[in-house]
A and B are shown apart, each in its own frame.
Chain A
Amino acid sequence: MSETWIILGATSSIARCLVRDLAGEGAALILAGRDQADLDATAADCLARGASMATPVQFDVRDPATFGAILDLATGASGPICAAVFTGSMPDQEKIDADVALIDGVITDSFTGPARFLQELAPHLERKGEGTILGIGSVAGDRGRLGNYVYGSAKAGFATYLSGLRNRLGRSGVHVVTVKPGPVDTAMTWGLDGLPFMTTPDKAAAHMLKAARKGRNVVYTAPIWRIIMMVIRSVPEPIFKKMEI
């Protein structure tokens, strides 16, 4: 029985690679995002690559009224339901410093919006007793840093939420994977200097899908970031607070 995947933030670079892999497996895809033209193109691409269904759906993570249509579409499917959450936003920390109201948007995009969606989805998955959730966090969530601590704290909140959701859904056979990407070579990082250990979106997508199939819980991509973040987390706070990394 082919899987039905809900992709929140389907216009993201990594999502586009993930849906290609899923299309090749014959999955049914619900592509949720805002840029309709781009969603249409991705849907066509998925169908051409073997998806059994690819439906673009208008979705705004800040507007819970857009959630219902997606849930209706997914819960009608007969096979397992899965979800991958790519929503998030990372304005420059300076912009946030200049306009503190931006914090609400960042928290909604990266944490409370997707958490609210998954909270609505969870009972359906529990009822089915199967399914997978891929939640995209960030290495930035592992420790608050000078450069992006608002974004980082939103991702940290989401990671903690995913941990709890895994604890809950694991009891009914649903698996939750927390993915923590380091820098990925996408439009978001194009032209930015000094990003070490960059991976590509197709590698990141293949890596997270493999991790999900293997039942991994928390996965860093590129994998070296697990070690790097272990070191960064272990720096004592009196020293860390003076560091600029």
Chain B
Amino acid sequence: MRWKTDTYTGWGRVHSATGELARPERLSHLAAIAKDEPAPAIGQRRSYGDACLNDGGRAVETSRLDRVLSFDAETGLMEAEAGLRLGEIARLYAPKGWLPAVMPGTGFATVGGAIAMDVHGKNHHHAGSFGQHVTEITLLQGKKTLKITPKDEALFKATVGGLGQTGIIASATLQLQRCKGDLMMVTERRATDWDAFIALLDQSEATYTVGWIDATATGKDLGRGILEEGETGAGLVPAPKRSKSVPFNAPQAALSAPVVRTFNALYYSRVPKSGRTTVKPIQDFFFPLDRIHDWNRLYGKTGFHQFQCVVPLDQAPALREMMARIAKSGLASPLAVLKRMGPGRAGYLSFPMEGYTLAVDFPNRGRAEALIADLEKMTHEAGGRIYFAKDALSTPLHIDEMYPDLPLWQAEASKADPDGALKTDLVRRLKLRDAS
């Protein structure tokens, strides 16, 4: 296998890594790498921090391993290579009445990455996490090719949400979910403040629910936002518009506090007081930002952070406190999401827990790092946890309390990869594989 030296980043572009990359185009070549020169696998690098980086080492890109290996139109079982993007699955199968049971906020996420992060979507309160709909994983561990299923208790739980540390995921079988078509009926309504927002989330019975929160609103408007609820349907709408791309790094002023405040106020008032229902292509509902390629460049060349935490249901007041802190800082970007999660999770290190999750983007400048450190502390005190797919700044200090199953995961990871060949920058930074 030929290796290419390159410098690459995660989606947030704060950390970068320089090292050798391989990009096999056949499963047999991937297997040869796993056998002779194992290295962590990476997909489309949509993790924000350093989960997809291996500075000074090697990594294997799966982007060219993106074929559908089988699909059963009766049962909705689909096997795909690890590099297939979830948006592509939706594009191929929604018109036939099937969707991935769980879709994260970007369609660029790959099957392998979605497993390794046990991602969640706007239907987490009903459907649980991605890994709960995976029926089989083909895992390459050195010379061995393993087919693992949920019956392989420990290894399966260590692989789903396992940050790629139990082997290279070559392919996986997903149980797709029935949908009514490739359209989404979307109902948007205003939440006038924090309490109203939490009440709307608690009452929502829609299949897909997500809240956009105005992370700059203070005072009586604190926590205001828009609740979006979606149901799939069939019908006819114009095809999704061609995606645009951001051709250059934006100047810092593009996301300065007054600009964001103004943008958010307009975005909020765009939805009438009485609310509204519209019909759009499913891509526009699930992956609104994918229409703008490389939108991370809007944050300029210094990049950005996304802070995401989840806290238990009874800790909503603690989350409100965090929201107040964020609003006061004036550091937030327009991208901020509030959602209620169910208990569903499939792995030892899966992020979800029953409660509320908040995700906010911050341009990487000035006081953002200190603010995020405070938010992490508040998350820990509230009995919540932070998300490895987003984190770029945390320290090992509280990880074991946020993730109580960490020792179980560590045991499987060291069995599967005793030499630590699959470690990534995230794993080293948070000392995830150093048993305490």
Residues of chain B within 8 A (CB-CB) of A35 are 26, 28
Contact of A41 among B4, B23, B69 (CB under 8 A): B69
Residue B24 at the chain A interface, CB threshold 8 Å: yes
Residue B241 at the chain A interface, CB threshold 8 Å: no
Whether A190 and B2, one on each chain, are in contact in the complex, defined by CB atoms closer than 8 angstroms, is yes
Give A228 to B383 CA distance when docked, in angstroms.
63
Whether B28 and A38, one on each chain, are in contact in the complex, defined by CB atoms closer than 8 angstroms, is yes
Whether B71 and A48, one on each chain, are in contact in the complex, defined by CB atoms closer than 8 angstroms, is yes
B1-30 CB contact bits vs A (8 Å, 1 = yes)? 011110000000000000000111111110
Known A190-B4, A191-B3, A191-B4; contact A44-B28, beta-carbon cutoff 8 A = no
Residue A126 at the chain B interface, CB threshold 8 Å: no
Known A190-B2, A190-B4, A191-B2; contact A45-B27, beta-carbon cutoff 8 A = no
Residue A186 at the chain B interface, CB threshold 8 Å: yes
Contact of A45 among B3, B26, B69 (CB under 8 A): B69
Give the contact-size bracket for chain A.
Answer: 10 to 19
Whether A38 and B92, one on each chain, are in contact in the complex, defined by CB atoms closer than 8 angstroms, is no
Give A191 to B4 CA distance when docked, in angstroms.
4
Which chain A residue shows the least CB distance to B66? A45
Whether B26 and A11, one on each chain, are in contact in the complex, defined by CB atoms closer than 8 angstroms, is yes
Contact of A44 among B3, B22, B23, B68 (CB under 8 A): B68
Contact of B92 among A13, A37, A42, A49 (CB under 8 A): A49
Whether B26 and A38, one on each chain, are in contact in the complex, defined by CB atoms closer than 8 angstroms, is yes
Closest CB of chain A to B404's CB: distance in Å? 40
Closest CB of chain B to A49's CB: distance in Å? 6
Give the contact-size bracket for chain B.
Answer: 20 to 34
Give A11 to B29 CA distance when docked, in angstroms.
13
Whether B92 and A187, one on each chain, are in contact in the complex, defined by CB atoms closer than 8 angstroms, is no
Whether A44 and B69, one on each chain, are in contact in the complex, defined by CB atoms closer than 8 angstroms, is yes
Closest CB of chain A to B72's CB: distance in Å? 10
Closest CB of chain A to B237's CB: distance in Å? 20
Give A56 to B38 CA distance when docked, in angstroms.
31
Residue of A16, A49, A186, A187 with highest tally of chain B CB at under 10 A: A187
Give A187 to B92 CA distance when docked, in angstroms.
26
Residue B398 at the chain A interface, CB threshold 8 Å: no
Residue of A38, A44, A48 with highest tally of chain B CB at under 10 A: A48
Give A49 to B5 CA distance when docked, in angstroms.
34
Which chain A residue shows the least CB distance to B88? A49
A-B contacts besides A44-B70, A187-B25, 5 pairs, CB < 8 Å: A13-B25, A35-B26, A47-B71, A187-B64, A191-B5
Closest 6 CB pairs of A and B: A191-B4, A48-B68, A45-B67, A191-B2, A48-B71, A187-B25
What are 16 A-B interface contacts by the 8 Å CB criterion? Answer: A11-B26, A37-B28, A38-B27, A38-B28, A41-B26, A41-B27, A41-B69, A45-B68, A48-B71, A187-B2, A187-B24, A187-B25, A190-B22, A191-B2, A191-B4, A191-B5
